[in-house]
Structure 1
Amino acid sequence: MSRSPLKNRIPGGVNGRRMLVIGFIDKCGTGLWATSIALYFTYVTGLGIAQVGLLVGMSGGVGIAGAPLAGRLADRFPVTRLLIGAQLLRAAALLALLTTDSYPLLVLYSAVGAVPDRATGVLTKLYAARVAGPERVRYQAINRTVSNLGWAFGGLGAAAALSVATTTAYQLLLIGNVLSYVLMAVLTLRCAEPAAPSRIAADSTTPAPSTKPASPWRDRTYLLFTATEAALGLHDTILQVALPLWIVHATDAPVGLAPMLLVLNSVLVVLFQVPLARFGATTDAARRLLLPLACLLVAGTLALTASALAGRGPAIAALVTAAVVLTFAEMIHTTASWELSLALAPYDAQGAYLGVHGLAAASQRFAGPLLLTAVISAGPLAWPLLGAGLVATCAGQHRLVRRRPGTPALSVAPTTVSEH
């Protein structure tokens, strides 16, 4: 019997499909929790806005270590086993939040959970690169589409819980996310391990090169690229952290709009992420996406300013506009980032380079909440200033990124994947 057309269109074969299912479950659980995390700490544990921002920022700061650690380990150990360990640690740290209202302990448990959370992002991206090969951008787009279906389901569940807005409802959202991590760990056991470049070299009959793999810490271009990525990734923190707080503290819009906007974000990603991926399939194409990205980021920040300057109806309209515009910015940025982060990395050091690139997301999750709570406190006119800074960052990255001499746009060598 021939395979279905859908299966034939998914890079990575059976292992790619299995990891897509795991990604869907991950985002179902995360959608339950992430859409309400700021409100959980506000209404259940009684934290103020500054405390929430500091908690999320401090945990993000500790989580920065997760990205380079995961990248370094992934060049030496099976990615699937590292993923299982990360998933179980995420579950344990999140469950611990239910045991206390102490602010120091809440910060501690959040920080412990942030390390495997950041590590998971690097590990899943590396798994996709190894299992999908040159079709990595398309696979990542499909993965993100499936994951956002999970976000949509999780966000709808969060919206229902927030309509009740009781302590028990918030706790059930957290427990639902914990259970998703445990299920993911079980399913990851069935995923075959794609061979790492170091193991391919070790198993090859051809002698391995005597030179050590390139180090991203000595690669000035890659480090500067990662720094610009940290700034451009602020769309993530704006949508997940700043938007709910902005709705509560600066607009006349209803609180229940926050999870619905994240559901809208997920629906748009499901509809448009895969079609947009074709615009970033080469290094040059990914670089050209930085111009529309700059326009979208500044438009989104202007819409957030407008949401605080009018009544309930106009505020809702402005917030929906901001969510839509920033979602397209998110899709364009992630498409460009997927290609550039791997195209600039030597094949034999992909894990180490992606680990350093993971510092961008981890750093913005540390500094982003602190920066954005300061923007919220400063008032509506602070958003255009942030937008101008993001435009300047896009221009800087556009100038910085060049295809390296002799490096093809899609430089992932074929990988050998074993099947269970």
Structure 2
Amino acid sequence: MLTIALVDRIGSGLWAAVSVLYFTYVSGLSVAQVGTLAATAGAIGIAGAPLGGRLADRFPLTRVLLAVQLLRALASLALLTTNDYALLLAFSAVGSLGDRAASVLTRLYATRVAGPDRVRYQAVHRTIANAGWALGGLVAATALALGTTTAYHWLLAGDALSFLASALLTLRCGEPPSASRTVTTSKTPAPATKPARANPWRDRTYLAYVGTETVLFLDDAVFKVGLPLWIAHAGNTPHGLAPLLLVLNNVMVVALQVPLARFGTTTTAARRLLLPLSAAFALGGIAMALSASDGTVTATLLLTASAAAFTLAEMLHAAISWELSVALAPVTAQGAYLGVHGLAQSAQRSIGPLAVTAAIATGPAGWTAFGAIIALTCLIQHRLVRERLTRTPLSVPPVTVSEH
């Protein structure tokens, strides 16, 4: 599965770096059309997380992931066949649906395979994925130097081929044990009744937890939207600083995600990490606010410090989220619960740009408030999960279900 993560992310890096340019220069869409396409596809993609998780509780996980990878490949290839806006929107939406489903399914695979070591496994997985993303971005940047329609087509084709390769590699993966699905081929009659399956949509504590997670995922919007726009808006640092800060983010994740993950390998430890996470978010917001100073050198140093703080927050939150999202879920419905948890990251993709642009419009005070609100949310989550964890077995490993 780690090899699949590398191949998948190389392809995603190829496309993510050029998608807006492709729709603009190859498909001939206007700025408004590109924005509407991205927003609509993202909104539809939100359904992919719960849908993927629910299917994985009912069917073999590897087969569901195989189908999702093939769906993503077909969606990418379909984009090559047309410049019609309606069709581009439809194909992009299907691809987005597959992307969000694949994200949940790979997390669920790690949960079932790694058991108590799931946090370290996810850290390694994320490190490899970031390396693949960076490699794909470098290839895309090189291809864009050609500036031809053919180069754009090959990058999109490379994205589709990465999904096909991932699908083939998935066929080689063994099916992990699952407590939510029992397969039997013996002559022993199946039980007449099945136990009721836990429903995350009726679990108020888990839904509240997912709500706080949506806020904690806002670091993603900082790097994709906030930092570039703030640098352009403030005007006291060179615009070239924005991509360098993205490189810093990627390098820090590759170098430090695995070492930091060891501090969140138990549920109790993961909950404790919410306190330093709160401090990291607050410091990131304060440094961003202070970067509005007149001096270029001072502003550059403060923006770098802010990027480092938000990256630290990103890595800490990743370790916390991997553990708590599973520990708070019944073992017999992990797929459904992780699918609902996946809504947090999907929703952030819509809410995040609005939040950071509001902070930019408000000025330094807005960034201070931005960091403070997320820091407060960390403390709310810390208290929210306490009662649930005191009556839930901590770090319960997956139950092995034999298949006769």
Q: Find the aligned partners of 2:162 and 2:294 in 1 and give their Cα distance.
A: 40
Partner of 1:75: 57
Shifted more, 386-395 versus 309-318: the winner is 309-318
Alignment deviations for residues 224-278 of structure 1 (CA, whole Å, 9 cap, x no partner):
0001111111112322344445555654656655444333322211211111111
Q: Does 1:86 align with 2:84?
A: no
8 Å CA contact 2:69, 2:167 repeated in 1:
yes
Match of 1:138 among 113, 120, 131: 120
CA spacing shift, 1:241–1:158, aligned 2, 3 Å: farther
CA spacing shift, 1:379–1:125, aligned 2, 3 Å: same
CA spacing shift, 1:201–1:85, aligned 2, 3 Å: closer
Q: Find the aligned partners of 1:260 and 1:314 in 2 and give their Cα distance.
A: 16
Identity of aligned residues (%): 57
TM-score, normalisation: structure 2: 0.86
Q: In the TM superposition, what is the alpha-carbon distance from 1:104 to its structure 2 partner? A: 5.0
Q: Find the aligned partners of 1:416 and 1:20 in 2 and give their Cα distance.
A: 24
Q: In the TM superposition, what is the alpha-carbon distance from 1:92 to its structure 2 partner? A: 2.8
Q: Find the aligned partners of 1:208 and 1:273 in 2 and give their Cα distance.
A: 47
Partner of 1:349: 333
Matched residue count: 399
Match of 2:41 among 52, 59, 62: 59
Match of 2:321 among 317, 337, 340: 337
For residue 401 of structure 1, give the secondary structure of its aligned residue in structure 2.
Answer: helix
8 Å CA contact 1:53, 1:369 repeated in 2:
no
For residue 176 of structure 2, give the secondary structure of its aligned residue in structure 1.
Answer: coil
Paired residue type of 1:128: A
Shifted more, 255-264 versus 192-201: the winner is 255-264
Matches within 5 A, 1:391-402: 391-402=375-386
For the aligned residue pairs, the C-alpha RMSD in angstroms reads 3.2
8 Å CA contact 1:289, 1:332 repeated in 2:
yes
Alignment deviations for residues 138-176 of structure 1 (CA, whole Å, 9 cap, x no partner):
111111122122123223334445666666555544333
Shifted more, 89-98 versus 126-135: the winner is 89-98
CA spacing shift, 1:233–1:43, aligned 2, 3 Å: farther
Paired residue type of 1:211: P
Q: Find the aligned partners of 2:212 and 2:318 in 1 and give their Cα distance.
A: 13
Partner of 1:7: none
CA spacing shift, 1:175–1:188, aligned 2, 3 Å: same
Match of 2:348 among 333, 351, 364: 364
8 Å CA contact 1:66, 1:119 repeated in 2:
yes
Q: For structure 2, list consecutive stretches of 5 or more residues without a partner in the other structure.
A: none
Partner of 2:177: 195
8 Å CA contact 1:228, 1:397 repeated in 2:
yes
Q: Does 1:413 align with 2:398?
A: yes
Paired residue type of 2:350: F
Partner of 1:293: 277
Matches within 5 A, 1:365-404: 365-376=349-360, 381-402=365-386, 403-404=388-389
8 Å CA contact 1:197, 1:347 repeated in 2:
yes
Q: For structure 1, list consecutive stretches of 5 or more residues without a partner in the other structure.
A: 1-18
Shifted more, 269-278 versus 164-173: the winner is 164-173
Q: Find the aligned partners of 1:404 and 1:24 in 2 and give their Cα distance.
A: 34
Q: Find the aligned partners of 2:314 and 2:80 in 1 and give their Cα distance.
A: 32
CA spacing shift, 1:239–1:101, aligned 2, 3 Å: farther
Partner of 1:182: 164
For residue 142 of structure 1, give the secondary structure of its aligned residue in structure 2.
Answer: helix
Q: In the TM superposition, what is the alpha-carbon distance from 1:349 to its structure 2 partner? A: 0.9
Shifted more, 159-168 versus 260-269: the winner is 159-168
Paired residue type of 2:180: S
Q: Find the aligned partners of 2:298 and 2:141 in 1 and give their Cα distance.
A: 22
Q: In the TM superposition, what is the alpha-carbon distance from 1:115 to its structure 2 partner? A: 0.8
Partner of 2:99: 117
TM-score, normalisation: structure 1: 0.83
8 Å CA contact 1:229, 1:360 repeated in 2:
yes
